[in-house]
């Protein structure tokens, strides 16, 4: 494929991302739900009412919540219980997790979905290992390649680059009204920021995902440079490698969720 043709494909794909309407992924009711979860004064009755209008979403939330992939220590049987126990941030993450579980169009598309969920898992585990709150890196892990998943094209991996992904993620997450700390963490994967601890967790998690998925299944064949990140979050390389071994159950649960 000629360089000019690849350039044209990249430009057209990014234009599609910029024109992508949030409603194609998140309907109006779910957008209202996510907005309610971001409010300082949480209205439990309103959130319960909005979720009652989304039975499929509610069922997905309970399924994910009760898997070890999410890491919640107790069984949750009712959506009202999930609202009270989980709190706004974790419930919002469950909503985003459910949105990623789309029907893949082919095997590479499924590998991107799996990559996002796996990266979220490892982002949470890395954050917990170093004593950080996990909600932001977990969400950034879920959404760091959202444009690839919702605006997927066959053979997309042949024209993706770091700068293209950076632009696409910034455009889409901003259009979807994601909080700035999540956008900056997701972008920190493609434009390294040594002062953003959430982005560092995401970079570590990205590499763990590539290794855990293996070369035959991985959506990405390369690792990002984390040489200077270990000291910044006081983590040893051996501890990062141990996370793969210690999370076998969570990885298996993730595979079950994807079917």
Distances 55 to 29, 49, 50, 52, 79 between C-alpha atoms, Å: 12, 11, 10, 6, 10
Number of structural domains in the chain = 1
- Give the model's pLDDT for residue 37: 83
CATH of the domain at 28: 1.10.3210.10
Q: How many CB atoms lie within 10 A of CB 20?
A: 19
C-alpha dist (Å) from residue 100 to 12, 57, 141, 186, 195: 23, 12, 11, 16, 29
What does the DSSP 8-state code read for residue 132?
-
Instruction: For 63-92, write each residue's pLDDT tens digit.
Output: 777 776 666 666 778 877 777 777 777 788
CA–CA separation, 71 and 126 (whole Å): 13
Q: What percent of the chain has pLDDT over 90?
A: 33
Q: Which structural domain, as residue segments, surrounds residue 65?
A: 3-258
- pLDDT of 194: 73
More confident position, 3 or 140:
140
**DSSP of 162-226, one letter per residue?**
HHHHHHHHHHHHHHTT--HHHHHHHHTTTS--TT-HHHHHHHHHHHHHHHHH-TTT-S---PPP-
Q: pLDDT at residue 1 above 60?
A: no
Per the listing, tokens 């590998």 go with: 111
Decide if pLDDT at 13 tops 90. Answer: yes
Span 142-185, pLDDT tens digits: 999 999 998 999 889 889 999 999 999 999 888 888 889 999 99
On the CB side of 205, CA atoms within 13 Å amount to 35
Q: Choose the weakest-confidence range: 56-70, 98-112, 113-127.
A: 56-70
């Amino acid at each position: 494929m000629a360089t000019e043709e690849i350039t044209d494909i990249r430009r057209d794909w990014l234009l599609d991302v910029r024109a992508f309407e949030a409603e194609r992924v998140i309907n109006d009711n779910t957008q209202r739900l996510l907005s309610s979860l971001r409010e300082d004064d949480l209205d439990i009755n309103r959130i319960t009412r909005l979720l009652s209008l989304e039975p499929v979403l509610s069922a997905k939330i309970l399924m994910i919540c009760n898997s070890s992939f999410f890491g919640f220590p107790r069984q949750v049987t009712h959506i009202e219980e999930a609202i009270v126990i989980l709190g706004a941030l974790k419930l919002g993450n469950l909503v985003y997790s459910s949105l990623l579980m789309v029907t893949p169009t082919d095997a590479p598309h499924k590998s991107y979905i799996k990559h996002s969920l796996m990266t979220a898992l490892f982002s949470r585990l890395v954050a917990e290992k170093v004593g950080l709150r996990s909600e932001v890196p977990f969400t950034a892990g879920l959404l760091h390649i959202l444009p690839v998943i919702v605006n997927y094209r066959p053979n997309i991996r042949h024209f993706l680059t770091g700068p293209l992904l950076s632009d696409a993620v910034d455009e889409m997450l901003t259009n979807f009204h994601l909080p700035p700390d999540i956008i900056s963490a997701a972008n920190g994967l493609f434009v390294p920021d040594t002062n953003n601890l959430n982005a560092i967790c995401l970079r570590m998690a990205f590499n763990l995902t590539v290794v855990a998925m293996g070369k035959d299944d991985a959506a990405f064949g390369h690792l990002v440079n984390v040489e200077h990140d270990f000291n910044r979050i006081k983590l040893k390389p051996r501890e990062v490698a141990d996370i793969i071994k210690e999370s076998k159950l969570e990885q298996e649960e993730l595979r079950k969720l994807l079917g």
